[in-house]
Chains A and B, each alone.
Chain A
Amino acid sequence: MKHFCIFIILVILPVSFISAQSSDIEFLKEVDRMVTFNTTDIAAEYKIVKRDPGGANSTTVATMFRRDRANQFVILILEPVVDKGKGYLKIGDNLWLYDPIDRSFTFTSAKERFQNSSARNSDFNQSNLSNDYKVTGSQKAKLGVFNCTILELEALNDRVSFPKRKIWVSEDYLIRKIEDYSMSGQLMRTTAIPNYQTVGDRWLPVNMVILDHLRSKRINNKIEYERTTITISKPSLSELPDTLFSKEYLERVNR
């Protein structure tokens, strides 16, 4: 009996721990794979509507061009008129913001708010959960009509916007809800992704709703959060020219 217990402690427990960890990584890889376009480029129009708690709406329309295999994207702001021509260029780990008025590029961070909305610049990146996070806990739960696996994630590096996350993944490996936490464990943001659209053999959200928990207000005894709704339309898998992912392109489109 004693030998059996030692056998369990020394062999079975570490093996089951390692296999659980590797299955978590495989799970996250599958989640990443579902929304990553490694063989094609992807372009789409994003409509971002920010609503302040109890306040006015502001709308931003942008076109996003992404090349996941090279870790690149370009976002070109189309609306509002005052920001028209502004652009974001990401090449590898570098992210620049182009201002057509100054005709200058400034370094910006993936962690910055996108056009003062609840979205972060990193939300436009390809999904890389399996490399950026480790799973610290998981459980099954129902989210509306979806049977989900809830994964608690902890960042493996400092590049990510949020050190702790909780994601709800439906049986088709699509993320349906995300809760983003600060280092101290305070809920900062909740993102709901109720619908996806198929683009080729991959998926792209139809819309996302982001609630900023730091920017909330009690109105008529009800807490209202800053809410950002992102609607993604006109997806295209057409091949994009290499010159598009360059500073010259952002300068050229503003001439």
Chain B
Amino acid sequence: MAVAIVIGFTMISFIHSAAFGVMETVKIKAARYFSGHISLTGYVWEKSLIEDPETLISTLKNMDLPLRTIVPRTIYYKSDASLFFGGESIRQRRLVGIDFEAEKDELSGLSFIDGSLENMLINGENGILISKPAADMLGARVGDDITLFITLSSGQYNTKTLYVEGIFNETSLFGYVAYMRQADLNDLLLWEPYLATDIAIYAEDGENLEALSRKISMLLADDYRVLPTMLSKSELYEELSMVDWTKGSVLAPLTLNAHLDQLNDILDAFLIVTWFVLILFILIVMVGILNTYRVLVYERTKEIGTLRALGMSRMSVRLMFLYEALLLSIISSLAGFSLSLILVEVIKIIDISALPGAGLFTENGFLKPYLNLKMACVNMALMAGSVVLAAFEPANKAARIMPAEALRTGK
């Protein structure tokens, strides 16, 4: 019985830690790929542009809000940005111009298979960070000069020769992106170096992004035309189509959850599966406890009869079994928690990059599960409740045993 609880709790804790790890990994990757936890995109006549990002950033910094980093970004939103090298070419889903000095802490999680973030900080001018799939496709290595091709808003072609300063290990959908200096991308777009398309806002850990975004919109509303915080990109596009552009530019805040709208469906499905598995484990444990306690009560009939004959009340007999079940579940859960800690450490060193789609929720091919203490306590309470509930019927049966009848039985 104890073994069943230990295994059940280990599996529940492990599945939860893996699910939390997956969600956290996806969110960290997404925050790098999109512009932080909350992005503020400027629009001037439907084109992405913030004309005075510096003032906007200082306004945001002066707000007394739990914001960790506020930096400008220039993002090339068209999907025709192409990298050329050695007769090969690859399209990039997104081209991001970054102020590396200002955003270095947030980008420090980017893992490199060649080159580094420091390369961009030291020799960043005309440098570019490309993903592993892009480097593999082009056959490019750090130090190679590649040609970046884009079309300007006017439709004219423009190109720039850039040096690969780093190849980051990102194979998921967040991998079809290249990072370069904001000034270089602005130069390619024939923009002034200070212009930006987005402000990337990184919030302190654990903040409610939707509430924070609403607060930012409210505080900016005095000086800027700010759209309400949307729940998805499609909502934003719909809202943008209704904007009266003659009244000037607008700012559109979007949280990470809104950016991940489509991906959230996958993550929600993943969570549903983990909850289903969890419920299944609990049911198995409950059936096991029920059967074991039935046998236990049968085995201890004579003992119960003796205790009852000595004056023990029905309630005391019932509580005796329930306390025993509770104690058993707590001790077994703690053992299961310890075992899951070991399992989490083991899974951290297993490379699962060969699995299809693993790149989306792994860092360098490794899962990053972590045990959430709050969730472990909830699980423990859930497990204890389930065990006590399963033991209730046998405990009740034990309480109803008549002492005389019990003492007559062979057990």
Q: A residues engaging B (CB < 8 A)?
A: 52-55, 109, 111, 155, 158-159, 161-163, 182-184, 186, 188, 214-218, 224, 226
Contact = CB atoms under 8 A, between A and B. Distances in A.
* Residue with the highest number of chain B CB atoms closer than 10 Å, among A111, A159, A186, A218: A186
B155 interface: yes
B84 interface: yes
Given A158-B154, A214-B147, A53 B159 contact: no
Contacts of B156: 155, 158, 163, 182-183
Contact of A214 (B89, B151, B158, B190): B89
B147 A218 contact: no
B161 interface: yes
A2 B69 CA distance: 65
A163 B157 contact: yes
Contacts of A159: 155
What secondary structure prevails in chain B residues at the interface with A? strand
Contacts of A155: 156
Nearest to A214: B84
Given A52-B87, A214-B149, A224-B87, A184 B159 contact: yes
Given A183-B190, A186-B147, A214-B149, A53 B158 contact: no
Contact of A217 (B86, B147, B158, B159): B86
Given A184-B160, A186-B147, A186-B161, A53 B155 contact: no
A182 B149 CA distance: 9
B84 A161 contact: no
A218 B158 contact: no
6 contacts: A111-B151, A158-B156, A163-B157, A163-B158, A183-B159, A188-B159
Contacts of B161: 186
Residues of A contacting B: mostly: loop
Closest 7 CB pairs of A and B: A217-B87, A183-B158, A182-B159, A158-B154, A53-B87, A186-B159, A214-B84
Interface of B: 84, 86-89, 147, 149, 151-152, 154-161, 188, 190
A243 B125 CA distance: 56
B11 to A, nearest CB: 50
A215 B87 contact: yes
A218 B190 contact: no
B188 A54 contact: no
A218 B152 contact: no
Contact of A182 (B87, B88, B157): B157
Given A183-B152, A214-B147, A214-B149, A188 B87 contact: no
Nearest to A157: B154
A188 B157 contact: yes
A94 to B, nearest CB: 15
B84 A158 contact: no
B52 to A, nearest CB: 25
Contact of A158 (B88, B155, B160): B155
Please indicate which of the listed interface residues A52, A111, A162, A184 has the most CB atoms of chain B within 10 Å of its own CB: A184
Nearest to A226: B87
Given A155-B156, A224-B87, 8 more contacts: A52-B87, A158-B154, A159-B155, A163-B158, A182-B156, A186-B160, A188-B157, A217-B87
A216 B146 CA distance: 11
Contacts of A217: 86-88
A215 B86 CA distance: 7
A182 B150 CA distance: 10
Contacts of A184: 158-160, 188
A161 B152 CA distance: 12
A19 B94 CA distance: 48
A216 B152 contact: no
Given A184-B160, A214-B147, A111 B155 contact: yes
B152 A109 contact: no
Nearest to B188: A184
